[in-house]
Amino acid sequence: MFPVEVFQATLAKLTSILRRLEIRFHLTGGLTGTAYGEPRMTQDIDIVIDPAQVRVVIESLVRCLRESEFLFNETSLRRAIAAGDLFQLLDQKECLKLDIYPREMIPGELDRSELLEVFAGEMLPVVSRIDAAASKLVWISKGSHKSRRDLRAIFRQGSLEQQQAIRSWAIESGHTQLLKDVLLESDELR
């Protein structure tokens, strides 16, 4: 597990670039399990970026990344942005990987981002609790086991209104039984 300072330093480098280029973003993935649920170890940072905005400024993004401490494959980055697929950056100084998603898993999720104090005194946009739960359900449906415990914690620590919104999303997306099954699971190993 990386120290908090490593996550903070790496995020500061990338968010500086994204803000300069006016690319909307928010944190997602394992960090949201910590923000909305229970702390857990994570070895990377997951970020959703606005696909339309990044396509407009792709040349500037590539130039900024070349001038930064991030290691990346330019061809892979360009293909991923064009297709809305994941691309990765590696902070060469901190040896921390970032998974960048130029797409919204849950339509409109960037519009519902919440500003949270991710580090002491530092507010960053984070996927909303409801969208975090929805994306965890999608990942679980694709076989992710790490997301199961995250989902339980995100759900249980939400308000009754948020829990109902998560249930409604599960109904609309056809994940009702999956949500029920995951919520019935124990957090303890047997």
Higher-scoring residue by pLDDT: 3, 137? 137
Q: Write down which residue in 127, 145, 171 finishes a domain.
A: 127
Mean pLDDT value across residues 88-106: 94
Same domain, 27 and 117: yes
Chain mean pLDDT for the chain:
91
- Distance between CA atoms of residues 4 and 116, nearest Å: 16
Mean pLDDT value across residues 97-114: 96
Check residue 44 and give its pLDDT.
83
pTM given for the model: 0.91
Residue 190 lies in a domain: no
Same domain, 11 and 43: yes
Check residue 30 and give its pLDDT.
78
Total domains present in the chain: 2
Query: pLDDT tens digits, residue range 34-87?
Result: 778 776 666 788 999 999 999 999 999 999 999 999 999 999 999 999 999 999
Beta strands in 135-187 (DSSP E): none
- HSE, side-chain direction, 13 A CA sphere, residue 129: 21
Same domain, 40 and 90: yes
Check residue 102 and give its pLDDT.
98
Where do we find the tokens 């990765």? 88
Residue 90 lies in a domain: yes
- Distance between CA atoms of residues 89 and 75, nearest Å: 13
Same domain, 62 and 117: yes
Same domain, 24 and 94: yes
Tell me, what CATH number does 114's domain have?
3.30.460
Residue 28 has pLDDT above 70, yes or no: yes
Range of the domain at 180: 130-184
Q: Spell out the SS3 assignment of 15-44.
A: HHHHHHCCCCEEEECHHHHHHHCCCCCCCE
The two structure tokens encoding residue 171: 């109904």
